[in-house]
Amino acid sequence: MHQTYSILEKLWLFIKLSTPMCITQFSLVGGTFIAIFLTGQYSTIDLAGVATGYNLWLLFYIFAQGTLMGITPIISQLLGANKTEDISKIFYQGLYIGTGLATMILLIGVLGLKPLLLFLNLDPAASEVCIDYLKAFALGLFPLLWVNTLRNTVDAHGLTHYSMAIVLTSFFINIFLNYSLIFGHFGFPEIGGVGAGYGIAGASWTNFILFSAVLLFHPKLKHYHVFKELFGPRWNYIREQLQVGIPIGLSIFLEASIFSIAGLLMVHFGSAVVAAHQSVISFTNVFYCLPLSIAMATTIAVGYELGAGRYQEAIQYSYISRILAIVISIIICSFTFTHMDSISALFTNDPEVYNLIYSFLGYGVFFAAIDAVGTPLQGILRGYKDVTPVFYISLISYWGVCFPTAYYLATYSDYGPFGVWIGLLASVAVAGILFTFRAWYIQHYKPKHSSQSKV
């Protein structure tokens, strides 16, 4: 990041910042997309098992990932204020937090997985796939969370093109492992959907090794002496990251939980419905990379300008991000509605699953478009470290609106599984409206000294 002096300069810098992040997010989500696609080609039972396992681990991982995002606005504002002497210490606290969160997730899985699958009454064959898939995934759990701190540190310095190159590398490794292990090619054993878990683990270790190399040797980063000068836990730094990160983590957890719980609600309608629903979710997740990347870039740009005391420039970056998001939402709708046949056929050879995917896509496209407008607003608020209201908005929208609506329509009406999608649509619509009001209040109505006090 660096100071800019015109709207065009800001737009160009924002595009240079967000484009590599977008490709990075495509690669991260693309691994899951490919895993779901290949598993669906292998068998519907394997797809149901992997889809259930994915929804379970994602529910906890997304909270951990969001919590670790607390380091991004902290480092961005320090860089904007040219106060970098404590960044290496802050970096280590992120690793300690990631280790604690990974341990917590692992213990929850060991103690609670089998009872939960019995409660869900998942098909026994799919349950076996689910358990083996999660065991394989667990091999990469610790580096998966450590990488969040490494990547957020690199991105906060504006080096998003390095993140792009690294994640693209791990993406291709993930694809290779998925293809080889699911179908048994290139001398690897044929283990079906379980191979998707090993693919994630392999990609996670690849990311960790390569990001570590960047932090050790890049000219802008090597002076931090990470992994050379060790710092023990510092409660004041941990507390700051958690104060920013936990509300972010809870907000993202609440949003992600609607997908996971929606997927678990679909279990009651059979393996075909689970497979179709997860296929559409995987497709919408790919497009979600666009507004998510814009939101992440907005947090960095807004945080940098606030750290430098340039409050009007921070507002300008927020408007740039929102306009780009609106353009993206229009493109998402146009593309999906003109390719519904080919998208549905991409995921399955099963006619029943194909018809369900085609039906769910109509709901999915509107969900993705509405979410594309609301997501960058969260990035703006994180740049201001205004994270607690984001949590309350998420609680109201996703648990207060989505869960009751989806459960009632799916259980007590004729909508069945389509009622779950109606609940999803209602939640993102409410969230988008509330995030809009909050961002407007922070930037235009909240007393100026209150905004500055957060810097």
Residue whose pair of structure tokens reads 């922070």 in the numeric block:
442
Per-position pLDDT tens, the chain of length 455: 566 777 888 888 888 777 777 777 676 666 777 787 788 778 878 888 887 888 777 778 878 888 887 787 788 778 777 777 778 888 888 889 999 999 998 898 888 888 888 777 777 888 888 888 888 988 989 998 999 889 888 888 878 788 888 988 988 998 899 899 989 888 888 888 888 889 989 999 999 999 999 999 988 888 888 887 777 788 888 888 888 888 888 887 777 777 767 777 777 777 778 778 877 877 777 777 788 788 888 888 888 888 777 888 888 888 888 888 888 778 877 888 887 778 777 777 778 788 888 888 888 888 877 887 788 888 888 888 888 888 899 889 888 888 888 888 877 887 878 888 888 888 888 988 998 889 888 887 764 544 444 43
> Is the CB of residue 49 less than 8 Å from the CB of residue 126?
yes
Length of the chain, in residues: 455
Give counts: helices (H), strands (E), the chain: 17, 0
The letter for the amino acid at 246 is: I
pTM exceeding the 0.85 threshold for the entire prediction: no
Question: Could you give the percent of the chain with pLDDT greater than 90?
Answer: 6
Question: Which pLDDT does position 118 carry in this prediction?
Answer: 78
Q: How far apart are CA 195 and CA 1, in angstroms?
A: 40
DSSP 234: -
Tokens coding 356: 């369900």
Helix-, strand-, coil-residue percentages of the chain, each rounded to 5: 85, 0, 15
Identify the H or E element spanning 152. Answer: helix 141-156
Residue whose pair of structure tokens reads 């046949």 in the numeric block:
341
